[in-house]
Amino acid sequence: MRCENHQIDPASIASIAIHSPAPFVRVVSIAEPTTSAEARFWVRYCVARAMLCGALNPADFEPAALSEPDTQALMRKVSIVPEQLPDDIQDLSPEAPDRLVVTLQSGQRLEKAVAYAGGGPSNPMSDADLTRKAKACDAPAELVGLLAEGALSIPIRSTAIF
């Protein structure tokens, strides 16, 4: 079953290249995950699934999702390109951002660079994104409502919830 939130027709994708620092690549290059926990660090799976669904949520790490044929087919088009960085540059640095390069069957290349991880202090989630994440994670309806209303007296970003 394919998700319907994608912006690019997966059939139009010829290849996907993930350019990332070599130390990071060593961590996320699990050959074939056997558990949901391993799948969370399987970057080829996460990128393919996100390209199909628009975003990842907990259901994307259930066994049925891991073996879903459309995801498996798109994963075969994903490669990881380790980038060597100078010693003074850290992973996810503005001086050396991670890059995602999608090449379409037409030859068109779409590229996105990310210097800071989404949801981190340098690239925080919006309130709407936090509300969507809470819903996807089956947070209690009361919490989701408070997030949606902006009614929390403590900013959600300062808690350990997300």
**Strand 109-114 and strand 13-21: pairing?**
unpaired
How many CB atoms are located within 10 Å of the residue 71 CB? Answer: 21
Greatest distance between any 2 Cα atoms in the chain: 51
Q: What is the pTM of this model?
A: 0.75
The residue type found at 99 is: R
Task: Match 């056997």 to its residue by tokens.
Answer: 34
Is residue 5 scored above 70 in pLDDT? no
Is residue 161 scored above 70 in pLDDT? no
Is residue 136 scored above 90 in pLDDT? no
pLDDT score, position 148: 64
Whose CA is closest to 157, among 121, 106, 104, 108? 121
pLDDT score, position 108: 93
The residue among 161 and 31 whose pLDDT is bigger is 31
Whose CA is closest to 99, among 21, 18, 25? 18
The residue among 98 and 14 whose pLDDT is bigger is 14
Mean pLDDT of the 71-95 span:
81
Is residue 2 scored above 50 in pLDDT? no
Strands (E), the chain: 13-21, 78-83, 98-104, 109-114
The residue type found at 32 is: E
Mean pLDDT of the 94-100 span:
82
Mean pLDDT of the 132-146 span:
75
